[in-house]
Amino acid sequence: MADLLILRVADYLALVNKALAAVPRDVHIEGEIYDHRLTHQKWISFDLKDDDGQAVLKCFMTAWQVTVPLEDGMRVRVTGRPTVSPRFGKFQLNVDTVEPVGEGALKRAYELLKKKLLDEGVFDAARKRTVPRFPSRLGLITSRDAAAYGDFLRVLNNRWGGVEIDFVHVHVQGREAVPEIVEAFARFNRRPEAQRPEALVLVRGGGGLEDLHAFNDERVVRAVFQARVPVIVGVGHERDESLCDYAADVRASTPSNAAERAVPSREQVRFELEAMGEHRERRVRETLDDTRRRLDAVLETMGFALERQRRAFDVAAQRFRERADAWLPSVRERFAAAQRLLSSFDPAKILERGYAIVRAGGRVVRDAAALDAGETVHVQLAHGSFDADVRKGTREAGQQALI
């Protein structure tokens, strides 16, 4: 009897898995999801079935690998590594990638992811930033082979020149699109603040949900949301919309419209400058007119005040004249009386009545006792004067000084 090859279960399963490792991993398997389960918020398992339900493939993956929400009935395309679980002895596919297939599945995945991101606040208008009105440098993320690239640059240069474009080429469709777009945003984020563009622009042409799938991928949407500078997204035609549009700071309807939203129009700026000049000129004229009216009003008010003062002065002058006519004669009479009184005290008048002024040593003599015998005095009369020597003087009553 030939020697039997006897293996332990684990060894046999390892042998089978080794054989399964030869199966190409780039094979895409398409089917519908059934019995979708999420365990401990970490592990996802589901059955992938054909349309007739005759064939079933057990699938397993980690939650962090999922880029679109999954649910039963959704048609998807998966890639992965086929294995036999040593623990359960079941054949399964360890999924590497999963993506919806078909218009219905893509639309459903779109709606599920949109609700999830909306609940997280990724689309909140309050967090959206303003793009500078006159940017000097823009970052452009798109494919150099796409019509959107040429349309954006043409419209940009026609509207406003002198803007530096920091271009990053990426695929905008296919398997390479998502990782390349995410890396492009990460590259700009890694730059020092002084070296970053003032805004980023993400554009591509129109298409169906499958063509725009990269722009509805959660990783790309979060890259737009987490950009460190404002982001303008112009994806598809006017009727197209993507989740990146909602996450962007500025949503443009087309790549050409993205250029229109990124820079102003020369004609519009010229019109605004002319309007500003006319507005300023009008305001200056209005200010001058208002100042002139105020000045006229002040001058008119001053004229009225001066006229009132002139009239008041005329009234006061008239009253003064009237009162002066009444009291001037009295003043003249009082003045004449004062003159007469003063005249009565005039020494010359007194001398006219026969009196004399005696001086000794330059002083007026009022007391005879102040004179000494033999002292010379000066006698002032009404008409002329003379000097005399004192013989004797006395202050006794009835006696007079002898000169």
Q: pLDDT for 238-262, tens place per residue? A: 777 899 999 999 999 999 999 999 9
Q: For residues 282-302, give the mean pLDDT.
A: 87
More confident residue, 151 or 343: 151
Lowest model confidence (mean pLDDT) among 7-16, 26-35, 121-130, 136-145: 7-16
Domain ranges of the chain: 9-100, 125-264, 277-343, 346-403
Which pLDDT tens digit goes with each residue over 330-342? 777 887 777 777 7
Q: Is the pLDDT of residue 403 over 50?
A: no
Which DSSP letter does residue 189 get?
H
Beta bridge partners of 39: 43
pLDDT at 300: 84
Per-residue confidence band for 53, with pLDDT thresholds at 50, 70 and 90: confident
Q: Is the pLDDT of residue 22 over 90?
A: no
Q: Which strand ranges, in their side-by-side order, compose the sheet holding 231-235?
A: 164-169, 137-142, 199-204, 231-235, 250-252
Q: Which residues contact 138 (CB under 8 A, 6 or more apart)?
A: 163, 164, 165, 166, 197, 198, 199, 200, 201, 262
More confident residue, 139 or 374: 139
pLDDT at 395: 56
Lowest model confidence (mean pLDDT) among 88-97, 263-272, 384-393: 384-393
Q: Which residues contact 117 (CB under 8 A, 6 or more apart)?
A: 123, 218, 221, 243, 246, 247
Q: For residues 269-286, give the mean pLDDT.
A: 88
Displacement of CA 194 from its chain's centroid (Å): 21
Q: For residues 181-196, give the mean pLDDT.
A: 96
- What is the pLDDT of the chain when averaged over all its residues? 86
Which pLDDT tens digit goes with each residue over 340-393? 777 766 676 777 777 788 888 778 877 777 777 778 888 888 778 888 888 876
More confident residue, 235 or 26: 235
Per-residue confidence band for 398, with pLDDT thresholds at 50, 70 and 90: very low
Which DSSP letter does residue 381 get?
-
More confident residue, 25 or 19: 19
Q: Is the pLDDT of residue 397 over 50?
A: no
pLDDT at 2: 60
What's the CATH fold of domain 125-264?
Rossmann fold (3.40.50)
Per-residue confidence band for 226, with pLDDT thresholds at 50, 70 and 90: very high
Q: For residues 24-42, give the mean pLDDT.
A: 88
pLDDT at 250: 96
3-class secondary-structure state, position 191: coil
**Percent helix, strand and coil across the chain, each to the nearest 5:** 45, 20, 35
Question: Exposed (0-12), middle (13-18) or buried (19+): which is 14, by Cβ within 10 Å?
Answer: middle
More confident residue, 347 or 402: 347
Q: Is the pLDDT of residue 282 over 80?
A: yes
pLDDT at 365: 79
- Packing angle of the helix pair 218-225, 102-120 (nearest 10 deg): 30
In the chain, the N- to C-terminal Cα span, in Å, equals 202
Domain 9-100 in CATH 2.40.50.140: yes
Token pair 């005879």: residue: 368
Q: Which residues contact 302 (CB under 8 A, 6 or more apart)?
A: none
